[in-house]
Amino acid sequence: MKALVLVCAAWGVSWGSWSALLPAVKEQLAVSPADLGLALSAVPVGAIPAMVLAGRLARGRERAGLAISCVSFALSLAVLALLTSSEAGRLAPLLALGLPLLLVGATSGAIDVALNLATGRAERETGRRLFQPVHAAFPVAVIVAAPATGLARELGLSPRTVLVAAAVAVLAASTSLVTLPAGKDGLPPADDQAGGRRRWTAALVIGGLIACVLIIENAVEQWSVLLLEEHRDASALVASAAPAVYMGALTAGRIIAQALPRLPTRFHYLAAGAGGGAGIALAGLGGSAVASLAGFALTGLALGPLVPAVLSQAAAEDPTGTLVSALSTISYAGFVVSPLLVAALTSWIGLPAALAALGLLALPLLAQSFRT
């Protein structure tokens, strides 16, 4: 439904804008790279417990849970705008960044879970396939918002102004949720204890597989520009295109999957395992910028449809929302592990080989394609 796409897009605009604002915020608060990294770690620290809580509270109240999460996220962006402004200069840099980012991470994590729960419920009630287009809205928004924010900075707009604009966009998108069918609140009868254990066992296994995908995705977002600039002799302009190439291919994969008849989940595992593994290996070991960009594009195209397809299947199999909530939370560990894993591998074998080595994470996806 359009309301869910708008919410996901506004969420993506916020994160795309924030990534493009980091240099300005770093300069404005005069923080070191080490302090900036420490402050940014507050995002996953806040997100994981909030995702657990949101998963419990939003089940059976998906529309209300998503609306509250959006409003809370917008308010957290406003706090971030306030504390990263020049007027907050008397605060310690870590406090000026870490505190609001803790709130931003928590409320963003709540949106993640609530949006998946709301999309799953909408699929069950309408019989329409919605996860692919809803999830496609996020990378498109990031692709648009990041350069738009760069232009805004060149025109003299402050980080505060951009963040407030992002908060307004999230609030505006949340008003569209009133167009969603109200449905009937409440959960279907819960399974017996054995059924609950089976669901959590499945969540741990499948959530771990999705985490493998997210480790690769986060690595491309954070390290692809550095790879092209330092190891492929690419210009800053060409190197900066790498995340956009990946996100564009990710979106294309989801749109293609939506346009085709519903494919079995095993196909998505097979495509993600084969194409994603080959793509990230090519990106890391390719001898030119063109080869690396082609590798990133193949990676995004192959991995893109898997997560929405898995969440859609989980929503259909478990109308209580427990499985969708658990998958969203468990898989988020991929975003936490990825920076540490790539950093450790880079110090051992260098960045190109480190990115190529992430192709090994595609092997469990291939194995799952023969089990599903």
Q: CB of 279 within 8 A of CB of 296? A: yes
Give the span between the Cα atoms of 141 and 8, in whole angstroms.
8
pLDDT of res. 209: 96
What is the residue-wise DSSP string for 192-258? -HHHHHHHHHHHHHHHHHHHHHHHHHHHHHHHHHHHHHHHS---HHHHHHHHHHHHHHHHHHHHHHH
Count Cα atoms within 13 angstroms, Cβ side, for 72.
Answer: 22
pLDDT of res. 182: 58
Q: CB of 227 within 8 A of CB of 356? A: no
pLDDT of res. 239: 85
Give the span between the Cα atoms of 359 and 139, in whole angstroms.
22
Give the span between the Cα atoms of 277 and 302, in whole angstroms.
9
The residues, ordered by sequence, that sit 6+ positions from 47 with a Cβ below 8 Å of its Cβ are 105, 106, 108, 109, 112, 332
Give the span between the Cα atoms of 175 and 3, in whole angstroms.
8
pLDDT of res. 238: 86
User: Quick check: pTM over 0.75?
Assistant: yes
Looking up tokens 């495509």 gives 271
DSSP 4: H
∠ CA 66-68-74, rounded to 5°:
100
pLDDT of res. 22: 78
Number of continuous H segments (helices) and E segments (strands) in the chain: 17, 0
Q: Name the token pair of 23.
A: 């240099």
Helix (H, G, I), strand (E, B) or coil at 319: coil
Give the span between the Cα atoms of 229 and 235, in whole angstroms.
6
Domains located in the chain, CATH noted: 2-179 (1.20.1250.20), 193-369 (1.20.1250.20)
Q: CB of 54 within 8 A of CB of 68? A: no
Helix (H, G, I), strand (E, B) or coil at 263: coil
Give the span between the Cα atoms of 75 and 11, in whole angstroms.
13
Q: CB of 237 within 8 A of CB of 293? A: no
pLDDT of res. 167: 96
pLDDT tens, per residue, the chain with 372 residues:
789 999 999 999 999 888 888 778 877 877 776 677 778 888 988 999 999 999 999 988 899 999 999 999 999 999 999 887 655 555 566 677 888 999 999 999 999 999 999 999 999 988 999 999 999 999 999 889 888 888 888 888 888 999 999 999 999 999 998 877 655 555 555 555 556 677 788 889 999 999 999 999 999 988 898 899 889 988 877 887 889 999 999 999 999 999 999 999 999 999 999 999 999 999 999 989 999 999 999 999 999 999 999 999 999 998 888 899 999 999 999 988 888 899 899 999 999 999 999 999 999 999 999 885
Q: Name the token pair of 8.
A: 């996901």
Burial (CB < 10 A; 0-12, 13-18, 19+), residue 124, is middle
Q: Closest by alpha carbon to 232, among 283, 177, 196, 308?
A: 283
pLDDT of res. 195: 60
Give the span between the Cα atoms of 149 and 170, in whole angstroms.
16
